[in-house]
Structure 1
Amino acid sequence: MVHILPCNAPQRHSRCDTYPCISPARARGRTGGRPSRLSADQVRTARRLYEQQDMTVAQIGDVLGVSRTTIYRTLAKHAEPVARRRAKPSPTM
């Protein structure tokens, strides 16, 4: 005989259980998550080296001691807003 467990059993680790703990922690200044591999100075250095275009992203990663992926992810996360370019008006005939 086969026994079937109920599908609607309450979940022990639901978002509702952890949210009351997160709010007070955020009020105390705690954000959670994994710490960044690069400091603010290293991020500025990576951006400067990337914009100079003298080194490849892999070389920048070697200098800073991180992977290419970390460099790309950091540059995307700390991207400076670029002023939108105005579209050139199309020539009318």
Structure 2
Amino acid sequence: NATAFSSLDRPQLPQVLQQSYIFPSSISAMEATITERGITSRHLLIGLPSGAILSLPKALLDPRRPEIPTEQSRCTDTCRAIHQL
């Protein structure tokens, strides 16, 4: 039975997910956005030395996202409109 297990067996090691990212310039500050009720999507705010602030969706940095984009994820609104024709 594949679902049977013994408490005496060694536990399986957790699968660690991680990715590294290279940013093209130096970063002065970094903080994640928060909302009172947590309804809106979270973003990562990055402060650059020039004074500019860059906002990246936190989902973009998710280590569980697919490494190779699927055809569906590459499709934009224009692509969807063409498929409907």
More helix by share: 1
Higher Cα Rg: structure 1 or 2? Answer: 1
Structure ranking higher on relative contact order (CA contacts 8 Å, 6+ apart): 2
TM-score (norm 1): 0.24
More strand by share: 2
